[in-house]
Structure 1
Amino acid sequence: MLKFPLITIAVDNIDAALEHIVQSGGKTVRGKLEVPGLGWNAYFQDTEGNIIGLWQDSSPAVS
């Protein structure tokens, strides 16, 4: 069980975001996972050791 706050960042493209994170020195903790009907999420560790979530909606937001 997590014992710290988990920040989650909304992105347009989880795959591209994870690739950029790894190229910048971060690590993928858990790759892209579908949340059926809603979108995808993933977790990464930044260069300071923080675990951060990513979220990509399955459809664009309605303006």
Structure 2
Amino acid sequence: MASPWSKVEEERQESVAAAFLHAWNAYKVHCWGKDELRPVSKTCSNDFGGLGVQIIDALDSLWLLGLQE
């Protein structure tokens, strides 16, 4: 029998995944390969040497959310 919290937890997980994908897709569209996206202005920064640190920083979140593809 499912826990009464399972539906709430599932909805929360989906909300977190949707928020992450929204931010990730904005980064891919506007600043791919740059260090950071400035979301309000949709501009990029390379404050960390232009290494694309956003990509590296997001890897664990992508993995935990099951977004390996």
Superposition TM-score tier, normalisation by shorter sequence: under 0.3
Structure of larger gyration radius: 2
TM-score (norm 1): 0.24
Richer in strand (by share): 1
Richer in helix (by share): 2
